[in-house]
Amino acid sequence: MAADSFLVELGVEELPPGAIDKLSDALAEGVSRGLADADIAHGEVTAYGSPRRLAVRVEALADKQPDREVERRGPALAAAFKDGEPTKAAQGFARSCGVEVDQLIHLETDKGTWLGYREQQQGEATTALLPAIVEKAIAGLPVPKNMRWGASRIEFSRPAHWLVMLYGSDVVEASALGLSAGRTTRGHRYHAPEPLELAHADDYLEALEQAWVLADRDKRRERIREQVLAEAEVQEAQAVIDEELLVEVSGLVEWPVALAGGFDERFLEVPAECLVSSMKANQKYFHLLDAEGNLKPGFITISNIDSAEPEQVIRGNEKVIHPRLADAAFFYETDRQQPLAARVEGLASVVFQQKLGSLGDKSHRNAAVAAFIAGRIDGDVHQARRAAELAKCDLVTEMVLEFPELQGIMGRYYATHDGEDAEVAQALEEQYLPRFAGDAIPQTRTGQALALADRLDTLTGIFGIGQRPTGTKDPFALRRAAIGVLNILIQGELDLDLRELLELAAAQHQELPYADGLVDEVLGYMLDRFRAWAQDEGIGAEVYLAVRTRPVTKPLDFARRLQAVNAFARREEAAALAAANKRVSNILAKQGGDVTVEVDAGLLQEDAEKALAEALSSCHQKVAPLFAEARYSDALDVLATLREPVDRFFDDVMVMADDEAVKRNRLALLASLQALFLEVADIAELQH
């Protein structure tokens, strides 16, 4: 079977830069899926993309489907012949197969013998199947927003202008989005606007690079990185390459050329975050730092042309950035003319959520909860209350209204300018930490108290108005809020009871339609987030379930138990003890829960039960102080020594003895065994 490369390229007007990777990957996945469904063998599938094209190349694509043996089953043999002659059923089946009855075969199955027919079905040519495969792949692209162009009713993300489909050196006759496939692509819009004929699918990348287009997304991205770093070295600076910005810039150019520009040093009086936000968000510039890590009055921009007069391009970019930075300087100066505290009253007119009141209402609720938490974690209650009062004030400043990503950051700057306590100012920024998985938590006690209070208020409030997140919708980012609370409590080693905190947070709301059972619902939701937390920590689901069955409401304690049980599960004794606990659980469950843990030594008869009773007594004395100090790993190390006496007990002792008193005493022995392990977790869940 022969094989060759296949190329499909859809040429369009400039795509949204953030959509290129997603669309090109989806096109590759769609083509791969279509080839798999058609059972066509192939090699590597690679996605390409640039502002003006989405493309896929498939290596070593077989020229046809494999031949297949098709088997058809007809009537049962008993119904196919009568007195040795074929019945109408047999004759009809033979006609449907295009053969005579004597050419049919017998098929033996576990349900009897049947008439049947086998034939070799020739595989279809790949070129005959590709048009439908590609058309379906294009139709299935996750286009963020469709548009029409010209008089056509065809819709796509941007107007489509050309379609290339080559199998080796041959054009595949096909159409999509109203375009007929050919071998003609386009190079760079300005450097190589003439049509470009591709001789072979394998010529794609090289031919386009000759036409000033880097269609390989990774190569284009790395070219930008290399150029930015090289240009920064020329400027005796360090370039900060934000990966998200790098992806976005890569989606704006087909032939990247890095150019360095500068701006007036007076703008450095404005906080660096403001200048960086303006350069990144508005102009897609990479900013520069000096050797001490301070912002330099310069930037690197990526042009889509290799200009003969680059200084003109640079001057144009400098001219554009100047008013942007001037705006940032104006916002900063204007905002500082009024202290943050003066904006507190204005929060009353900003809606947080229609049923939960204004940002002012939220600030009052947060202040009460933050002050309580600060008192429990050796923080400053006054500072926590003050930080909560000021926390949302920067949301109504000119700078944050222009650059929302600076919330909290500007609060810190403005609070510092106003002479607020340093920890209060720091807390205004820390209230949003952690912002994403792996992000740092607040380092100050005031910041921790405020961050916890804000999230707990949102969780109880949104649940309390009946807007629990679903599998697909979480508009208030409650999952992130819940995981943020867990991370702060665990990483900050804050031994706080989540139920108590939720009860306090819920009590701050004046009226909640779904107040009944609210705390239990939110608590369950938050503890369920431990499954994802445990997974991130490399802890198995069975370990999570073992701990989750216990009524643990302190996340720090929950995490310690998870880590202890996870370590225990890797011990040699774990499997046997888990199985034994499962057996104990089943035995005790049949007793209806009416079993004491008090063992009468006078009723112990067998050596094995006496040995177990002695071992349990010894373990209890050793683990009691360990449990009191939450040293669960050490406690489980002690309990692991019970494996031998437990195994011996089940081998030598009949639990359900004829003597009722002896039986109840043996059940008590098992109940005391179970109770010891349940001080940490239900390790019966570890049994697979």
In a domain, 344, yes or no: no
What span, in angstroms and rounded, lies between the C-alpha atoms of 540 and 531? 9
Final residue of a structural domain among 173, 194, 210: 210
C-alpha dihedral sign at 229, 231, 232, 236: positive
In a domain, 508, yes or no: yes
Supply angle C-alpha 569, 571, 576, rounded to 5: 80
The pLDDT mean for the chain works out to 92
Q: Which of 523, 561, 574, 588 is nearest to 684 (CA)?
A: 574
Q: Are residues 288 and 144 in the same domain?
A: no
What span, in angstroms and rounded, lies between the C-alpha atoms of 271 and 328? 9
In a domain, 537, yes or no: no
The tally of domains found in the chain comes to 5
Burial of residue 405 (CB within 10 Å: 0-12, 13-18, 19+) is: exposed
Q: pLDDT digits over 342-386, tens only? A: 999 999 999 999 999 999 999 999 999 999 999 999 999 999 999
Tokens at residue 496, please? 């706080």
pLDDT over 90 (residue 319): yes
Q: Are residues 147 and 93 in the same domain?
A: no
- Is 300:259 a contact under the CB 8 Å cutoff? yes
Confidence (pLDDT) at 688: 61
Q: Are residues 371 and 503 in the same domain?
A: yes
Confidence (pLDDT) at 110: 84
In a domain, 598, yes or no: yes
C-alpha dihedral sign at 456, 462, 466, 467: negative
What span, in angstroms and rounded, lies between the C-alpha atoms of 365 and 359? 10
In a domain, 553, yes or no: no
Q: Are residues 324 and 358 in the same domain?
A: no
Q: pLDDT digits over 601-647, tens only? A: 778 888 888 888 888 889 989 999 998 999 999 999 898 888 888 88
> Residue 678 maps to which CATH number?
1.10.730
> Residue 139 maps to which CATH number?
3.30.70
Q: How far is CA 378 from the centre of its chain?
A: 35
Instruction: Mention every residue, 6+ apart, whose C-beta is less than 8 A from residue 166.
Output: 5, 6, 7, 172, 183, 198, 200, 201
Question: The tokens 């997974």 sit on which residue?
Answer: 535
Q: Are residues 203 and 270 in the same domain?
A: no
Q: Which of 594, 610, 590, 591 is nearest to 602 (CA)?
A: 610
Domain that holds residue 280: 217-336
What span, in angstroms and rounded, lies between the C-alpha atoms of 104 and 74? 9
Query: Is 657 or 335 the better-scoring residue by pLDDT?
Result: 335
Q: Are residues 403 and 509 in the same domain?
A: yes
pLDDT band at 177 (very low <50, low <70, confident <90, very high): very high
In a domain, 544, yes or no: no
Q: Are residues 521 and 374 in the same domain?
A: yes
What span, in angstroms and rounded, lies between the C-alpha atoms of 454 and 304? 45
Burial of residue 302 (CB within 10 Å: 0-12, 13-18, 19+) is: buried
What span, in angstroms and rounded, lies between the C-alpha atoms of 299 and 296? 8
- Is 220:47 a contact under the CB 8 Å cutoff? no
pLDDT band at 550 (very low <50, low <70, confident <90, very high): confident
Confidence (pLDDT) at 316: 95
Final residue of a structural domain among 336, 368, 400: 336
- Is 388:453 a contact under the CB 8 Å cutoff? yes
What span, in angstroms and rounded, lies between the C-alpha atoms of 336 and 346? 16
Greatest mean pLDDT among 436-450, 559-573, 637-651: 436-450
Q: Are residues 386 and 504 in the same domain?
A: yes
In a domain, 549, yes or no: no
> Residue 382 maps to which CATH number?
1.10.3210
Q: Which of 474, 484, 476 is nearest to 433 (CA)?
A: 484
Confidence (pLDDT) at 593: 64
Average pLDDT over residues 672-687: 86
Tokens at residue 447, please? 């910041």
